[in-house]
């Protein structure tokens, strides 16, 4: 989105230095905009801490006052018990493998699952203000044959085209593990990401009368801190595409969802896994 004309992008995360390094990388990109000093901003924020999230919301409210798209992208791997589960040679070994890191499940769910609701809820006023900025009626709209009304004059004022009927949007990054019956990254990770995907789908229904969309992106293996210790090549029995996802794969999907072409997309799960779910027992 940075390379495609976004007016403002806030990066939120616990480690401010990591966010600032990411901004430097983006600003040094040859494909980035020429005047970009004010486009990117970093805010230190712990998504599991309501006061920290509220502080970020307050700062954004004071600086620009609205958010068109919120992307929930925080995640941790959780207890890594996959190898031990499938390598167990006795029922006792299997018992111990399944219970490995059991006390760490809470942290995994706090970041991967609970924060989806906490952060999304905190940003709702900013998302509604974004709708109002684009001419949409504020508040709850219900009833058959009673669509939310949009004032097209508002679109002209912000330089948007008259056919731009995009509503504010929450995009939640879950995982291909949300649907895998094979324990790919540990029991807690799979379960927490399944919860994240379902909560995001629930939000699409809860938020429909309020004019806010909710969609889910479920990546397969992509380069990240979670996957840095494994190779990038995959056999056809693992991923038919034969490789990890890359920046073009992620960016193309995200730009579609946030652009005018994705305005009619709501309450969906978008897999970007190179075909991985077709190679394992899965529920998708």
Q: Map out the domains of the chain as residue ranges.
A: 74-278
CB 193 within 8 A of CB 216: no
One pLDDT digit (tens) per residue for the chain, 284 residues: 777 778 899 999 999 999 999 999 888 877 777 665 689 999 999 999 999 999 999 999 999 999 999 999 999 999 999 999 999 999 999 999 999 999 999 999 999 999 999 999 999 999 999 999 999 999 999 999 999 999 999 999 999 999 999 999 999 999 999 999 999 889 999 999 999 999 999 999 999 999 999 999 999 999 887 777 777 889 999 999 999 999 999 999 999 999 999 999 999 999 999 999 999 999 87
> What was the pLDDT predicted at 35?
61
Predicted pLDDT at 229: 74
User: Residues 6 or more apart from 74 whose CB is under 8 A from it?
Assistant: 13, 47, 111, 112, 115, 119
Which one is the CATH code of 74-278: 3.40.50.720, 2.60.40.1150, 3.40.50.1370, 3.20.20.70? 3.40.50.720
pLDDT at 58: 98
Cα–chain center distance at 139: 25
According to the model, what pLDDT value does residue 30 have? 76
Burial 118-136 (b: 16+ CB within 10 A, else e): bbbebbbebbbbbbbbbbb
The pLDDT value given to residue 16? 95
DSSP letters for 38-74: TTEEEEE--TT-HHHHHHHHHHHHHHT---SEEEE--
Q: In b/e form, how buried is each residue of 35-49, taking b as 16+ CB within 10 angstroms? A: ebeebbbbbbbbbbe
pLDDT at position 225 is 77
Give pLDDT, residue 32: 72
pTM of the model: 0.93
* Residue 77: closest CA among 228, 234, 279, 277: 228
List Cα–Cα distances, 83 to 101, 228, 278, in angstroms: 13, 17, 21
Query: What pLDDT is recorded for position 3?
Result: 72
Tokens of 131: 């709708």
């Amino acid at each position: 989105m940075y390379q495609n004309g976004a007016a403002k992008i806030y990066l939120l995360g616990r480690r401010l230095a990591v966010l600032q390094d990411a901004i430097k990388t983006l600003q040094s990109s040859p494909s980035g905009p020429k005047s970009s000093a004010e486009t990117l901003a970093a805010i230190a924020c712990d998504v599991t801490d309501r006061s920290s999230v509220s502080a970020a919301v307050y700062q954004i409210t004071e600086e620009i006052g609205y958010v068109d798209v919120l992307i929930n992208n925080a995640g941790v791997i959780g207890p890594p018990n996959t190898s031990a589960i499938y390598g167990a040679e006795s029922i006792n070994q299997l018992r111990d493998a399944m219970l490995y890191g059991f006390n760490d499940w809470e942290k995994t769910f706090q970041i991967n699952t609970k924060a989806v609701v906490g952060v999304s809820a905190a940003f709702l006023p900013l998302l509604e203000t974004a709708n109002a900025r684009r001419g949409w009626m504020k508040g709850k709209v219900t009833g058959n044959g009673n669509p939310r009304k949009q004032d097209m004059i508002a679109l002209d004022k912000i330089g948007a085209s008259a056919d731009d009927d995009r509503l504010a949007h929450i995009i939640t990054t879950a995982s291909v593990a949300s649907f895998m019956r094979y324990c790919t990254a540990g029991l807690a990770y799979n379960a927490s990401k399944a919860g994240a995907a379902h909560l995001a789908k629930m939000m699409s229904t809860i938020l429909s009368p309020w004019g806010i969309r909710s969609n889910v992106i479920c990546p397969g293996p992509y380069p990240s801190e979670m996957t840095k210790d494994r190779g990038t090549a995959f056999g056809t029995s693992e991923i038919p595409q034969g490789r990890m996802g890359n920046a073009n794969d992620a960016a193309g999907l995200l730009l579609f969802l946030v652009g005018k072409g994705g305005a009619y997309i709501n309450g969906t799960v978008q897999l970007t896994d190179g075909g991985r779910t077709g190679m394992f027992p899965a529920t998708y």
